[in-house]
Amino acid sequence: MPIYPLAKPHIGKEEKRAVLAVLDSGILSLGPKQKEFETKFAKYIGTKYACAVSSGTAGLHIALLAAGIGPGDEVITSPFSFIASANAIVYVRAKPVFVDIDPVTYNIDPKHIEAKITKRTKAILVVHIFGQPCDMAPILKIARKRNLKIIEDACESIGATNRGKAAGTFGESAVFAFYPNKQMTTGEGGMVVSNKRSIQDFCKSVRNQGRAENMQWLDHVRLGYNYRMDEMSAALGLVQLGKLDGMIRKRRMIARWYKKYLAPWRHVIQAPTVASGNTHTWFVYVVQLLGRANQRDAGVRALAEKGIQTKPYLPAIHLFRFYRQQFGFRRGDFPVTEAVSDRSLSLPLSIGLRERDVQFIVRTLVAFLETHGQRIQK
């Protein structure tokens, strides 16, 4: 076990009591905790509706189904994301059309979107990466002009805002995720939010095997899936949601420490930047090592030897074997994504890190660069 894990959930006595209370109740699925979690989550995000599901991936799948995306359609999205955002498009037998990213925010670059729109394009699946929202004004303008739907993958950016508006409130629907490394967790789990009752009804049906609104066992009106969230997860989520603002404040404090101690080394380590008009909730803290191309992977190994867990974040989706074989992508297709992906490194970020821990992590990273011939003079 590393001394400094890459991430870990922040679980207290309240969460344990809440889960045990559900176990004692005997109602383990489709119960009151799920409904309460949905209601309070929608209020937190600022939408009318929220539908709890088993994962963020499941949420993306049914959000695309709810948008009417299907075989032969094209969906514009980012190649710099966790693979689930692209996979969900493939699930509905549509084609992911990638657009390169902004080199500062790592989000989809709006300047390149229109060139990728065809007669088959039906939607833009924006990915708010690492806790920072996309620049939504130009994206919304393009969507209105070209009659495209907006679906938000906000799985990594709960609580973040773009020009005062919350991530998850721009599109016809949005998806959040609660895996243990996220800003809040339900263990596994996700949420689809929207302001349309029709989307809410569809998602609630599809997550539960396609049952009709009356929820009768023998009345299944569409193809559905087992994407339900269980009551233990919902109970955990309720407690975490109540603590979320405080947990985000602590993550922001850790990010400020990283920024402080990385500042003298900006010529060799590029710290993340919060774009003007954005607030950031720091799902992960990703830096770029600006030296030789193979330096990052050696850094992962070197820091692990010192008890510091790190990870390349993220591999470029279009270079995964399946996507190369299925769609013919190759290196060079999205040069900004590839350059960022080749150099990016996620540093430990979890509640409980102290300032001296961050200082040690940065000092160890700088020492690695020095031993590998990097000029690191301030």
Q: Give the pLDDT confidence of 261-283 residue by residue, as tens digits.
A: 999 999 999 999 999 999 999 99
| Per-residue pLDDT at 263 | 97
- 170 with 265, same domain: the answer is no
Name all contacts of 323-331 with Cβ < 8 Å and 24+ positions apart: 323/86, 326/90, 327/95, 327/96, 329/98
- 135 with 268, same domain: the answer is no
Neighbours of 122 (CB within 10 A): 18
- 273 with 328, same domain: the answer is yes
How far apart are the C-alpha atoms of 55 and 49, rounded to whole Å? 17
Residue 166 β-bridge partners: 161
With respect to residue 167, please indicate whether it lies within any of the assigned structural domains: yes
| The one catalytic residue among 182, 204, 243, 250 | 182
**Residue 6 three-state SS:** coil
* Cα→Cα distances 304→2, 261, 311, 365, Å: 7, 20, 10, 11
CA-based torsion, 174, 179, 182, 185: positive or negative: positive
CA-based torsion, 354, 363, 2, 273: positive or negative: positive
Give me 333's structure tokens: 């297709």
pLDDT category of residue 293 using cuts at 50, 70 and 90: low
Our count of domains for the chain comes to: 2
The angle formed by the CA atoms of residues 259, 354 and 350, to the nearest 5 degrees, is 80
Q: What is the pLDDT of residues 7-54, one digit of tens each?
A: 999 999 999 999 999 999 999 999 999 999 999 999 999 999 999 999
Q: What is the pLDDT of residues 317-358, one digit of tens each?
A: 999 999 999 999 999 999 999 999 999 999 999 999 999 999
pTM: 0.96
| Per-residue pLDDT at 371 | 86
- 215 with 250, same domain: the answer is no
Per-residue pLDDT, averaged over 289-308, amounts to 91
Statement: residue 167 has pLDDT above 80:
yes
**Domain, as residue range, for 257:** 244-371
- 80 with 190, same domain: the answer is yes
| Per-residue pLDDT at 221 | 87
Per-residue pLDDT, averaged over 54-75, amounts to 98
- 215 with 257, same domain: the answer is no
Statement: residue 153 has pLDDT above 80:
yes
Per-residue pLDDT, averaged over 163-189, amounts to 98
| Per-residue pLDDT at 375 | 55
Task: Report which of residues 227 and 213 the model is more confident about.
Answer: 227
| Per-residue pLDDT at 219 | 79
CA-based torsion, 1, 280, 290, 79: positive or negative: positive
- 195 with 289, same domain: the answer is no
Q: Of 192, 221, 240, which one is at a domain's C-terminal end?
A: 240
- Of 209-213, 291-295, 364-368, 370-374, the range with the lowest mean pLDDT is 370-374
**Catalytic annotation present for 182:** yes
Statement: residue 177 has pLDDT above 70:
yes
Per-residue pLDDT, averaged over 250-266, amounts to 98
Mean pLDDT of the chain: 96
- 158 with 182, same domain: the answer is yes
Q: Of 240, 265, 287, which one is at a domain's C-terminal end?
A: 240
- Express as a percent the part of the chain with pLDDT over 90: 93
Per-residue pLDDT, averaged over 355-362, amounts to 98
- Residue 279: closest CA among 137, 144, 165: 165
